[in-house]
Amino acid sequence: MDPLAPLPARPLTGGSVLAVDIGGTKFRVGIVGAGGEVLASALAPTPKAADAETLWSSLAAVVREVLDLGAAVDAVACGAGCGGPMRDHGDAVSPLNIPGWRSFPLRSRLQDLTGLPTFVDNDAKALALAEGRYGGAAGADDYLAMVVSTGIGGGLVVDGSLLDGRLGNAGHVGHVIVEPSGRRCACGARGCLEAEASGTAIEAITGKPPAEASADVIERTGMLVGRAVASVAALLDLDLAVVSGSVALGYGAPFFAAAHAELSQRARLSFVADARIVPGGLGADGPLVGAAAVGFRGIERGGRP
Ligand SMILES: [Zn+2]
């Protein structure tokens, strides 16, 4: 299936969104239509060690490059996805993977640059929105969307709405404890899913890049993801987890089989007994389409972030 095949546009959305994906390795900017289709895009490497204004100059150059393509003529909003934590709906972002930005006013800078109503959210939550609109959770009102990559992030949709939480950080499934006496996590705790099953953790444990993992490591990684999903599913009455990211999708079928086996064994309450873990449906465009979904949601909410 072509995950980016145009789908019928949702009501209240017209035009396109200027989408901005702030990644630790690259900035990607594009124009995304209301059906989730990427109409144009450009990217540049993230100058990871740079200071705040140098980072901004690099990002602004990619934004201008896309605006100059002319495909943004019907853009109704700018949407951005950025690593957490953040506050004030993206007016103070401090992505852990971009040390030069601490309380950086990303939302207002993008709005000043583009002249468009601008909305910013956590990148994993953004992807969760997009999976529900266009991807592996299309039509579902209750699900967990996860990214198992260098780190592990997630977003929760419950009763049809993406959960924000008190400060906007709901969905940090990477910090569900899966091995009580396991490895120390960057957050300070021990045995978090991210400390055991992220690409960074796999490399630290095996001494090899995650792509070179043995069958045992792939199975263990899937098993731990399934364990975390079992807890989340029971807590929130969910029966679907959509999992993407380079580690999960790169490992493929054996990863998903191990995750599902662990989930089935751990989740025994009647309402989670049929819970499923499926691959994300948006492929490499997921983060960009997620950023666009943040923009479309902002417009649909009448400008409320
Ligand atoms: Zn942690």
What is the Å distance from ligand 1's center to 179 Cα?
Answer: 11
What is the Å distance from ligand 1's center to 194 Cα?
Answer: 6
Confidence at residue 192, expressed as pLDDT on a 0 to 100 scale: 97
Element housing 157 (H / E): strand 152-158
pTM above 0.85, yes or no: yes
H helices of 69-122, where? 106-114
Tokens of 1: 């299936």
Please give the CATH number for the structural domain made up of 16-123+292-300.
3.30.420.40
What is the Å distance from ligand 1's center to 59 Cα?
Answer: 29
What is the Å distance from ligand 1's center to 242 Cα?
Answer: 21
What is the Å distance from ligand 1's center to 5 Cα?
Answer: 36
Name residue 141's amino acid: D
What is the Å distance from ligand 1's center to 150 Cα?
Answer: 14
Distance CA 29, CA 88 (A): 22
| Boundaries of every domain in the chain | 16-123+292-300, 136-280
Distance CA 42, CA 37 (A): 15
Instruction: Print pLDDT tens along the chain (305 aa).
Output: 344 444 333 434 469 999 999 988 899 999 999 999 999 999 999 998 999 999 999 999 999 999 988 766 789 999 999 988 888 889 999 988 799 999 999 999 999 999 999 999 999 999 999 999 999 999 999 999 999 998 899 999 999 999 999 888 899 999 999 999 999 998 899 999 999 999 999 999 999 999 999 999 999 999 999 999 999 999 999 999 999 999 999 999 999 999 999 999 999 999 999 999 999 999 889 999 999 999 999 999 887 77
Task: Name the 3-class secondary structure at 64.
Answer: helix
Confidence at residue 14, expressed as pLDDT on a 0 to 100 scale: 60
Confidence at residue 71, expressed as pLDDT on a 0 to 100 scale: 67
What is the Å distance from ligand 1's center to 202 Cα?
Answer: 15
For domain 136-280, give the fold.
Answer: Nucleotidyltransferase; domain 5 (3.30.420)
Give, as one character, the DSSP assignment of residue 191: S
What is the Å distance from ligand 1's center to 230 Cα?
Answer: 18
Domains 16-123+292-300 and 136-280 alike in fold = yes
Confidence at residue 253, expressed as pLDDT on a 0 to 100 scale: 98
What is the Å distance from ligand 1's center to 212 Cα?
Answer: 24
Confidence at residue 11, expressed as pLDDT on a 0 to 100 scale: 38
